[in-house]
């Protein structure tokens, strides 16, 4: 008996977002560990392991849902989703460099680098991996 089931586009988009979220989380955790080791940046009230895990997963799943909402109206063209996420990543990177974290300029500069790196990693992986996984015929979902 064949128990294979055809999944709808919402399921594929959501699962692509979840898979991208796992990849984004791992990449951000590795970046966080390396960045903090190199710069000796210790404050972790805002950006810590817990916030990286939860925010990366939730935002990637929201990105998967946005992919589901955008692509059908764009005649099945993922280029609009990719362009939107690249522009959104650029804007949020700009914002990341202007967030006031501390009165100490050294702490603020280190925080800007950490936050901007996490934004860039998250934005680019979501922009490229979600459309690929949602459209790929041989994906696990």
Residue range 102-134, pLDDT digits in tens: 888 888 889 999 999 999 999 999 999 999 998
| 130 domain residue, yes or no | yes
CA 118 distance to own-chain centroid: 8
- pLDDT for 76: 74
> How far apart are the C-alpha atoms of 105 and 80, rounded to whole Å?
38
| 67 domain residue, yes or no | yes
Domain that holds residue 64: 9-135
> How far apart are the C-alpha atoms of 30 and 24, rounded to whole Å?
10
- How does DSSP assign 105-138, residue by residue? HHHHHHHHHHHHHHHHHHHHHHHHHHHHHHH-TT
- pLDDT for 77: 82
Residue range 4-63, pLDDT digits in tens: 556 778 888 999 999 999 999 999 999 999 999 999 888 888 889 999 999 999 999 999
Residues 60/21, Cβ–Cβ less than 8 Å:
yes
User: Is residue 140 over pLDDT 80?
Assistant: no
Give how many domains the chain has, as a whole number: 1
């Amino acid at each position: 008996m064949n128990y294979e089931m055809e999944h709808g586009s919402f399921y594929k988009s959501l699962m692509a977002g979840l898979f991208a979220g796992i990849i984004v989380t791992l990449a951000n955790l590795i970046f966080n560990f390396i960045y903090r080791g190199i710069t000796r940046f210790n404050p972790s009230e805002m950006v810590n392991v817990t916030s990286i895990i939860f925010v990366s997963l939730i935002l990637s799943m929201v990105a998967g849902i946005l992919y589901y909402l955008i692509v059908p109206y764009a005649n099945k063209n993922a280029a609009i989703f990719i362009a939107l996420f690249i522009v959104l990543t650029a804007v949020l990177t700009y914002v990341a460099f202007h967030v006031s974290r501390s009165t100490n300029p050294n702490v603020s500069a280190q925080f800007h680098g950490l936050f901007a790196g996490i934004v860039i990693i998250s934005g680019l992986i979501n922009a490229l991996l979600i459309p690929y996984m949602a459209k790929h015929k041989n994906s696990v979902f």
